[in-house]
A and B are shown apart, each in its own frame.
Chain A
Amino acid sequence: AQSVTQPDIHITVSEGASLELRCNYSYGATPYLFWYVQSPGQGLQLLLKYFSGDTLVQGIKGFEAEFKRSQSSFNLRKPSVHWSDAAEYFCAVVRGISNFGNEKLTFGTGTRLTIIP
């Protein structure tokens, strides 16, 4: 079964420090991978996506992620976090709906990021 795992439920980092949020997927075919951010009380905003090509993808707000097929991972990174980065981050993968031939997005359980001064 296809799935997405975010092993870290909660991460705390100091402002200005580097950040890496982990995401592992289990998917039989070439995955389409995404990172979304949800700020408190807000909906989801797409940070970046990987479909194919260069395995290091750049996103908004200074985030990047690297697709590593050998490790089935798509970790999110930022070299220096800002207090405004405090939010919940979701990794997601598109998997198929076999009956209809369309796709639906499957999310990991999320990682809550806290920034300390």
Chain B
Amino acid sequence: SQTIHQWPATLVQPVGSPLSLECTVEGTSNPNLYWYRQAAGRGLQLLFYSVGIGQISSEVPQNLSASRPQDRQFILSSKKLLLSDSGFYLCAWGRDRTSWGTEAFFGQGTRLTVV
């Protein structure tokens, strides 16, 4: 069965420090991978998606970047964190429209607090 791992679960980082959040998927190949963010008082916003190794699309301009060095690994990064980067980050994977809700899942999320 397919599983998705996301870590760390909680992170407190000072302003200006770097960030690296990792997400890995098991039990499937060539998944579509997504990073979502939920800022305080706001809904879930799609940040990045990837349909293959090295293929990254950004949905919104921001201080973050994403990389996909391996088929089932998706990394969210920042060189210098801002206070506004605080939020709840969710990694997700899916294959196509019918996989959402069946084979597609979300990680448990990372709560990032920038201080």
Contact = CB atoms under 8 A, between A and B. Distances in A.
B13 interface: no
Contacts of A94: 97, 100
Given A44-B90, A110-B43, A110-B44, A103 B106 contact: no
Given A32-B97, A49-B100, A51-B98, A106 B46 contact: yes
Contacts of A106: 46
B97 A44 contact: no
A104 B90 contact: no
Interface in A62-117: 90, 92, 94, 97, 99-100, 102-110
B51 A102 contact: yes
B22 to A, nearest CB: 15
Interface residues of A, number: 25
Question: What is the predominant secondary structure among interface residues of chain A facing chain B?
Answer: strand
Given A49-B101, A90-B44, A110-B43, A105 B92 contact: yes
B109 A103 contact: no
A51 B96 CA distance: 12
Interface string A35-52: 000000111101001010
Contacts of B109: 42-43
B2 to A, nearest CB: 14
A38 B27 CA distance: 24
Contacts of B101: 34, 46, 49
Interface string B55-82: 0010000000000000000000000000
A57 B26 CA distance: 30
B34 A105 contact: yes
Contacts of A110: 43-44
A34 B90 contact: no
Interface of A: 6, 32, 34, 41-44, 46, 49, 51, 90, 92, 94, 97, 99-100, 102-110
Interface of B: 32, 34, 36, 42-46, 49, 51, 57, 90, 92, 94, 96-98, 100-101, 104, 106-109, 111
